[in-house]
């Protein structure tokens, strides 16, 4: 089914600290697609039901969030940067990149962010148990879900090259 857009929508997802924002910014710069930080939308458009103190994060109102994003995403060319993916309708999404990282490296990154203990442990468990990868595979067609490693800067470079090449190919395949 050909989507009604001339530029693809990509989700970059994974456990917090895996490198989503770093990748999304670099892909945006290379491809001209727009980096959509879902965290910023949740905060700025108040798509939440308050703040969870233990986990130091917003309690997201998903319906409000989807409403706030819909118009922009349907135009295409969005890189959606968030630690969840299965709330976005399948028809919105052309590629789901799930970033992965070794748990020791993730531990260091989240400790550097001064995560509270409960949140640190929850995220380490989520990475080890491949929660985001499974969520992506359950929500989207197998062929649009790609798992990429994000342990070092060389991997960032090769991941960004790969996503850029994929965007070019998508545009060729979908030009009329």
Closer to ligand ADP at the Cβ: 5 or 147? 147
User: 92 near 9, Cβ under 8 Å?
Assistant: yes
32 marked ligand binding residue: no
Contacts of 162 (CB under 8 A, 6+ apart): 148
Question: What's the min distance (Å) between Cβ of 79 and ligand ADP?
Answer: 12
113 marked ligand binding residue: yes
20 marked ligand binding residue: yes
Place of tokens 């970059």: 12
User: Among all residues, whose Cβ is closest to ligand ADP?
Assistant: 19
For residue 11, give the H/E element and its range. strand 10-13
Residues near ligand ADP, by CB under 6 A: 14, 16-22, 109, 150-153, 155-156
Closer to ligand ADP at the Cβ: 74 or 131? 131
Q: Residue ranges for the binding site?
A: 17, 19-22, 113
Q: Residue ranges for the binding site for ATP?
A: 17, 19-22, 113
């Amino acid at each position: 089914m050909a989507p009604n857009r001339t530029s693809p929508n990509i989700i970059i997802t994974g456990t917090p600290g895996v490198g989503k924002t770093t990748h999304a910014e670099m892909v945006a710069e290379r491809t001209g697609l727009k980096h959509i930080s879902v965290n910023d939308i949740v905060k700025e458009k108040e798509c939440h039901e308050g703040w969870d103190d233990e986990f130091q994060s917003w309690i997201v109102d998903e319906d409000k969030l989807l409403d706030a994003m819909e118009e922009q995403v349907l135009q295409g060319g969005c890189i959606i940067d968030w630690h969840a993916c299965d709330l976005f309708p399948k028809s919105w999404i052309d590629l789901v990149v799930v970033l992965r990282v070794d748990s020791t490296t993730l531990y260091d990154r989240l400790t550097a962010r001064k995560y509270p203990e409960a949140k640190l442990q929850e995220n380490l468990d989520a990475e080890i148990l491949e929660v985001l990868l499974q969520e992506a595979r359950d929500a989207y067609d197998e062929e649009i879900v790609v798992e990429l490693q994000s342990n070092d800067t060389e991997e960032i470079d090769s991941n960004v090259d790969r996503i850029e090449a994929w965007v070019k190919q998508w545009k060729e395949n979908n030009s009329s």
